[in-house]
Amino acid sequence: MKIFNAAQIQALDKETVSNQYISSFKLMERATTKVFEKLQTRYKLYQTSFVIFCGTGNNGGDGLTLARLLKEGGAMVKVFLVQTKKYSPDNAQNQDLLEDRDINVEKFNTKSKLKVKKDDVIVDALFGIGLHSPLDEEWRPIFDFLNETPCLERVSIDMPSGLLADVTTPIEAIVFKADVVYTFQLPKTALLLSDAKEYVKELEILDIGLDLDYIESTKSDAYFVEQEKVRNLVKSGTKFSSKDDFGRVILIGGSKGKIGAMTLASKAAMNTGSGIVTTYVPNCGYTILQTAIPEVMCDTCAGEDYIKVFPSVEHYDAVGVGCGLGLHKDTATALVTFLKDNKDKKLVIDADALNIISEQKCLDKVPVESILTPHEKELKRLIGEWDNDFDKIDKVKQLAKKHNVIFVLKGAHTITIAPDETIYFNSSGNWGMATAGVGDTLTGMITSLLGQGYTSKEAAIVGVYLHGLAGDIAIENIHPHSLVASDLGKNISSAYNQIAL
């Protein structure tokens, strides 16, 4: 699924109206009906009271339409409408339709005193994607009230009012804090970034039937990865496949007290489909690996507690390095030598290997088309501080292009950034995955896919999505608080099965 900027979305609306021979009013009705259907599922309408705050434009028109639909559906509804001399035509038309619906419509301004009950659902339909600059300070008392007053839940239509779609929203800006955002047709970049976590606790994308030809023909460098995209990339075997057809991979890492990281990565590589997995660890990890995973071959180096020398990887299809590796100076020296000696071998680089590369300032030694999987702190060590998420993405894009490598920025919507400057936001995963070892599992999965013949970009996209989906399947039976990394490995098979449906 493509991600469009605000101007492209507005053009898409116009193309839909023109090509489908419908009015913008009818398109508004279609879109808002989708929101109504979601609210109908989320709440018992006959027992729920909605207070809808509507602006002067078409986002306000959405709110007015929703008020009518909710009233017809049996809910209690009150509308607060921003007072002005001029409303958009569709907004005005929807106001006319409310006159005989027994809906209380009260006009207000930035100095008005508002009332909301603690069991009301507040619906934000004040400002949409057309906002190009932060809200004026005069709106702060209203938004302080909307964000702080006790209520059942807070809902935004399309965008939380005050949040800018395509550029960073200043920290001090006035923004509605939504519990759930129902956005139309395509996600907006700001809704997927961690900078917006205070304003977007839950996001749902509603297909409202906008013009598919325009979507297909309009260029975008940003994508939201969903199941269909991954289904089209996943490879399968045949009756006559052998283990060599599924790749030989080696995972290098581990140190005293951190062999568990290698166990998780190795299991994940096997469960993702590698034909042969070899794990290279210091001597202290040999018995652990051989006992925990009989399917994995285990090799060791001369070091007892940490890796002193890296192995030859000439005969492997993919290499994963870094899980539990540690930061001993001998290990760091060995890693730098390893990078210099294997310039033609694609690597998956994680954890302490990333930290060593940062310390040694040897990113230029990383082989092209390698995949780097940093979490936020590891990324800061690589690229330094950033001002905001848009700045972070720009910096990583430049680095990915310069060094011809793939970056996987782990987070709520893990972001894959390729050397061609395309960006892929992941749609799977949940907050229960914020736990130790989950990154090691991802490293094993991506390494496995790289070894099976996927391109670096494909391995990253598919691995990240499968990883998140395994986590989503796991919490069907396990509370997110109780989720551990090994639960993901156990559900990789179920994730494959779900993708195949």
- The predicted-structure confidence for 456-475, as pLDDT tens digits, reads as follows 999 999 999 999 999 999 99
pLDDT value of residue 255: 97
Q: Is 432 annotated as a binding residue?
A: no
Q: Give the number of other Cβ atoms within 10 Å of residue 114's Cβ.
A: 15
- Looking at residue 99, its pLDDT comes to 87
Q: Are strands 153-157 and 120-125 parallel, antiparallel or unpaired?
A: parallel
Model confidence band, residue 299 (pLDDT cutoffs 50, 70, 90):
very high
pLDDT of residue 101: 85
415 belongs to an annotated ligand binding site: no
CA pair distance 211, 44, nearest whole angstrom: 33
Summarize pLDDT for 38-51 with one digit per residue, the tens: 999 999 999 999 99
Residue 59 marked ligand-binding = yes
261 is in an annotated binding site: yes
Confidence of residue 379 (pLDDT cuts 50, 70, 90): very high
- Reported confidence tier of residue 88, pLDDT bands at 50, 70, 90: very high
Q: Is 315 annotated as a binding residue?
A: no
Two structure tokens written together for 272: 């993702």
C-alpha to C-alpha distance for 9 and 129, rounded to whole angstroms? 9
Say which residue the tokens 């940062």 belong to: 358
| Rama region for 104: left / alpha / beta (φ>0; ψ in -120 to 50; rest) | beta
Check: CB of residue 317 under 8 Å from CB of residue 344.
Answer: no
How far is the C-alpha of 418 from the C-alpha of 456, rounded, in Å?
9
Q: What is the pLDDT of residue 102?
A: 87
What does the pLDDT look like over 344-376, one tens digit per residue? 999 999 999 999 999 999 999 999 999 999 999
Average pLDDT over the chain, rounded to whole?
96
For residue range 381-410, list pLDDT tens digits in order: 999 999 999 999 999 999 999 999 999 999
Q: Is 375 annotated as a binding residue?
A: yes
Q: Is residue 410 part of an annotated ligand binding site?
A: yes
pLDDT of residue 474: 98
Does 411 show up as a binding residue in the annotation? Answer: yes
Question: Is 89 marked as binding a ligand?
Answer: no
Whether the predicted pLDDT of 250 surpasses 90: yes
Calculate mean pLDDT across residues 121-149: 96
pLDDT at 130: 85
Residue 141 annotated as binding? no
Please answer whether residues 346 and 450 qualify as being in contact, where contact means their C-beta atoms are separated by less than 8 angstroms: yes
Kindly state the average pLDDT of the residues 115-126. Answer: 97
What residue type is 480 in one-letter code?
P
Annotated ligand binding at 124? The verdict is: yes
- 179 assigned binding-site residue: no
pTM confidence score: 0.95
Once rounded to an integer, what is the mean pLDDT over residues 437-444?
Answer: 98
Residue 467 marked ligand-binding = no
The answer to the question of whether 413 is labelled as a binding residue is: yes
Helix (H) or strand (E) holding 49: strand 49-54
Q: Is 128 annotated as a binding residue?
A: yes
**Residue-level pLDDT at 171:** 93
**480 known ligand binder:** no
384 in a known ligand binding site = no
